[in-house]
A = this chain, B = another copy of it.
């Protein structure tokens, strides 16, 4: 299968969220309008939508309702995907609170920590177990997606546990850059907030010079 680029997938995700808001206002949308509210260009939007096999109508644009359905069919899993979060500190708690119930096809079913004060409690309605129980829970609940928001030093061990238990995607928020062999066939998304802050500092310096 000829996969679509990561950049395109990110934009489709954004388009859908923007379209959901527009749906209340209008029926059809032009590529240049969708571009405007998504910080993109009309050509980029049309290129991205090409992958969906959904055709817009010249002079009229895209029917928002159909387009949302089409993006959903393309992006979303057929069945609900169960997700687990490992490391329930400030960030883990923010993620749990934010995502619980937000994306209908992604269900946060469990979180894990080693802090005995957290184990056994519910966080944003999601039960927290000890890390030791993770492999079993992942198998039991058929979890394919794992999020790591533990302390940095635990990252590698957690990812190895996840992969051994059969996880197919890892979203890693720690500073520790994971290195997963291609042969494992695991999708890895590194979210490096520190780099974003340092980038902002660098471009601030540059902007001030101008």
Q: What is the interface of chain A, defined by CB distance below 8 A to chain B?
A: 1, 3, 6, 9-10, 13-14, 17-18, 36-39, 74-78, 81, 83, 89-91, 93-95, 97-99, 102-103, 105-106, 144-145, 168-171, 175, 177-179, 185-187, 189-210
Contacts and interface: CB of A to CB of B under 8 A. Distances in A.
A21 B103 CA distance: 37
Contacts of A169: 200-201, 203-204, 207
Given A81-B201, A177-B37, A201-B76, A10 B207 contact: no
B144 A208 contact: yes
Tell me the dominant secondary structure on chain A's binding face.
Answer: helix
A170 to B, nearest CB: 8
Contacts of A98: 90-91, 193
Contacts of A93: 90, 94
